[in-house]
């Protein structure tokens, strides 16, 4: 059954015109075919997230109950979807330093619409098959908040859902590295349909990052033009400010978009589009 669901999500993704944008005479895709993973709503990891991240962090049950009432989710599945950024966009940002390319800014400004449409299509598909489903980030309970340890956090994280569903691990850059790399967008849907969870092909939070698994790399540190990534990890406040600096505001006007993103840390790095492997010549630790 899971294969059928994965096939369906890939087909739905292929049918959406919002994944296309015009560049001169060409019609190009923002994202390649999605990756799909499954986690049980009763996976103890979701309680561990609450313990480690904070009491404010929501479990799948709390989110589902907001929509369908108390006790609505005794069993079920988190379906996590990764949308890998297409090669043409990766290429456009590789040559950039300091600022993203015009093409990348298109992705930041409009790629979210496609992700939202695909998410709605997945929910509609679940409903057609007689199952209830919600998108956590559309719940009335979902919110962004500031806590002492994190200036920009939320009470449901899409990358934690992806981690639980076996789709990837965290990294020095803060982002999730999937088997299609770090350059992606991701969303999740919670359903009361009980499906077999995927096995996580890793045991540690940072298994796919070379900085943690091989004492090497750190390429994202020098790629980051906002000084937000160091050997101590990712500082989301610096990233946030950098993306709203006067230079970036001017860039929004120049490119004619409401946001440009930056994402230099997601291209021209060994983890860009696959799980990175250490090359002998790359040995050596990053400085701080
Ligand atoms: C708020 C937000 C931001 C804020 C702050 C980011 C942040 N907190 O890391 C700002 C505006 C700065 C930002 C920037 C960017 N973002 Co953003 N952002 C989000 C958003 C909406 C929520 C993130 C969040 O609060 N998570 C909750 C907290 C708890 O988790 P976390 O910080 O992600 O996780 C860390 C800690 O929990 C820590 N940790 C500590 N203890 C423990 C214990 C356990 C058990 C675990 C598991 C983890 C853990 O490890 C994690 C990794 O550092 C998500 C969408 C979503 N709803 O999830 C997108 C999202 C994370 N962003 C995304 C992207 C692409 C970006 C940018 C590249 C955009 C850009 N500017 O070009 C940058 C760079 C990010 C980077 N280097 O990681 C993608 C990430 C894709 C990926 N490969 O990981 C997401 C998932 C959006 C999406 N739908 O695809 N973002
Ligand atoms: S560039 Fe290297 S250190 Fe940075 S996240 Fe990717 S693998 Fe880890
Ligand atoms: S999005 Fe830009 S500023 Fe933020 S961490 Fe990545 S490279 Fe640095």
Whole-number Å distance, alpha carbon 257 to ligand 2 midpoint, is: 29
**Residues with beta carbon inside 6 Å of ligand 2?**
171-173, 182, 209-211, 217-220, 269-271, 276
Residue 277 lies in a domain: no
What is the domain range of residue 249?
Answer: 2-266
Residue 283 lies in a domain: no
Beta bridge partners of 184: 84
Pick from 65, 193, 72: which is nearest to 140 by CA?
A: 65
pLDDT in tens, the chain (288 residues): 899 999 999 999 999 999 998 888 888 999 999 999 999 999 999 999 999 999 999 999 999 999 999 999 999 999 999 999 999 999 999 999 999 999 999 999 999 999 999 999 999 999 999 999 999 999 898 988 888 777 788 999 999 999 999 999 999 999 999 999 999 999 999 999 999 999 999 999 999 999 999 989 999 999 999 999 999 999 999 999 999 999 999 999 999 999 999 999 999 999 999 999 976 555 444 433
Question: Which residue CA neighbors atom 7 of ligand 3 most closely?
Answer: 224
Question: Which residue CA neighbors atom 1 of ligand 3 most closely?
Answer: 263
Residue 109 lies in a domain: yes
pTM of the model: 0.95
229 in contact with ligand 3, CB cutoff 6 A: yes
Determine the atom of ligand 1 nearest the C-alpha atom of 185: 90
- What total number of domains does the chain contain? 1
Residue 120 lies in a domain: yes
pLDDT, tens digit, for every residue of 23-51?
A: 888 889 999 999 999 999 999 999 999 99
> Any idea which ligand is nearest the CA of 170?
1
Residue 258 lies in a domain: yes
């Amino acid at each position: 059954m899971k294969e059928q669901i994965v096939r369906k999500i890939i087909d739905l993704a292929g049918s959406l015109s919002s994944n296309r944008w015009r560049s001169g005479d060409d019609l190009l895709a923002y994202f390649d075919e999605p990756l799909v993973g499954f986690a049980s709503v009763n996976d103890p990891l979701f309680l561990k997230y609450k313990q480690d991240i904070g009491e404010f962090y929501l479990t799948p049950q709390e989110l589902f109950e907001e929509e369908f009432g108390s006790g609505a989710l005794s069993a079920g599945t988190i379906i996590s979807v990764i949308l890998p950024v297409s090669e043409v966009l990766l290429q456009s940002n590789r040559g950039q330093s300091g600022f993203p390319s015009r093409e990348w800014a298109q992705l930041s400004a409009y790629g979210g619409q496609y992700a939202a449409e695909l998410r709605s299509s997945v929910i509609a598909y679940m409903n057609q098959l007689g199952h209830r489903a919600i998108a956590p980030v559309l719940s009335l309970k979902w919110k962004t908040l500031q806590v002492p340890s994190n200036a920009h956090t939320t009470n449901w994280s899409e990358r934690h859902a992806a981690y639980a569903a076996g789709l990837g691990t965290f990294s020095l850059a803060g982002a999730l590295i999937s088997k299609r790399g770090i350059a992606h967008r991701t969303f999740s849907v919670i359903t009361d349909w009980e499906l077999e969870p995927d096995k996580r092909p890793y045991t540690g939070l940072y298994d796919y990052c070379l900085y943690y698994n091989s004492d090497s790399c750190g390429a994202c540190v020098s790629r980051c033009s906002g000084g937000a990534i160091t050997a101590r990890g990712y500082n989301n406040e610096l990233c946030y400010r950098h993306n709203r600096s006067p230079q970036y505001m001017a860039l929004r006007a120049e490119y004619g978009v409401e946001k440009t993103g930056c994402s230099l840390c997601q291209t021209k790095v060994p983890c860009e589009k696959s799980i990175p492997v250490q090359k002998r010549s790359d040995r050596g630790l990053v400085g701080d």
